[in-house]
Structures are given as structure tokens and as C-alpha cells.
Structure 1
Amino acid sequence: MGSQKYGRRSSNQPMIFDAWNYKVLALGLFLVIVGFSAMYLENEVEGFISLYISPIVIMSGYATVILSILKHDRNSSKTS
């Protein structure tokens, strides 16, 4: 108890996600931010971008985030 500080992890614990997961997660978050920004910048309720383009971009961003969280590479996990 006295030898380890609180909040420090041991170096032998694996990462939760792979690099691919983090890249796809960042892409999904970027798509969500771009979709909401485009909706805000048009500033019209009945506009073409607000009604058709932005919801598609936002939903694809959410789908990408969900994919990046749920996708797990079975070959990279080590069972010891």
C-alpha cells in the first residue's frame, strides 16, 4: 500500500482500445462537431443544410463513434 501511489497504473496493463479505435473515434467526434457547426452557421430553420445535410453528417458521426467503441480486434488481445 505504501509502495504505490494512488492513481498510478502499472506499466503491464494493456490499453483498452487500439490506435485504430482512437482514430475512428476522433473522426466520429469531428463529424458530429462539423454537423452541428454547419447547422448553426446556416442559421435557418427551413434551410437545405439544416434539414438534409447536417442530420446525415451528425448521424454518420454517431455511427462512427459507436463503431469505434464496439469494434474489438480479437487478434490483439492477449490472454495470460
Structure 2
Amino acid sequence: MSSNKRGRHRSKQPMIFDAWNYKVLALGIFLVIIGFAAMYIENEVQGFISLYVSPIVIMSGYLTVVVAILKHDQGTSKAS
């Protein structure tokens, strides 16, 4: 019974990230997936893509994810 009352009167809490953060996070995850997929498709240990291109794409994806998580827009935060 009490769970129904709480469900109707939920307080509006701000989202953790902005839309920009979610877009950049999705881009970073996409880059990581593309990097590993390119390594898998080439299927050579000593290939050019596996040694040079994919690690750069994967690291840029990881850095993009870190930036998306750590970037905070100071203009939208409320001082409480």
C-alpha cells in the first residue's frame, strides 16, 4: 500500500548527465566496439590494422568515455 503512494508522488530529481554527455558516451562506446571489431575482422596478429589502427581507435574511445563521464556543465548545476 505504501509503495503505491510513493509511486504517485515521486520527486523530480535532475538527471545525472546532460544530453551532450549521453551522446559523447555513446560515441565512445561505439568507437571501442568498432576498434575491437576491426581487429577481429582483420584476423591477423601482425596486421597493420591490428597493430596500429585499432589500438588508436580503442584508446580514443576510452578517452571519449572518460571525458563524457567527467565533464560537468557548471551552468546547469544548482547550489543547494
Query: What is the percent sequence identity of the aligned residues?
Result: 73
Aligned to 1:74: 74
- Alpha-carbon distance in 1 for matches of 2:56, 2:9: 40
Over the aligned positions, Cα root-mean-square deviation in angstroms equals 1.8
Where has structure 1 moved over 4 Å in runs of 4 or more? none
1:26-73 deviation line (CA, Å, top 9, x unaligned):
000000000000000000000000000000000000000000000000
Which blocks of at least 5 consecutive residues in structure 2 are unaligned? Answer: none
Amino acid paired to 2:56:
I
| Count of residues in Structure 1 that have an aligned counterpart in Structure 2 | 78
Q: Which residue of 2 aligns with 1:4?
A: 6
How far apart are 1:10 and its partner, in Å?
A: 2.6
In structure 2, do the counterparts of structure 1 residues 29 and 9 end up closer, same or farther at CA, with 3 Å as the change threshold? farther
**Is 2:39 the partner of 1:39?**
yes
**TM-score, normalising length from structure 2?**
0.89
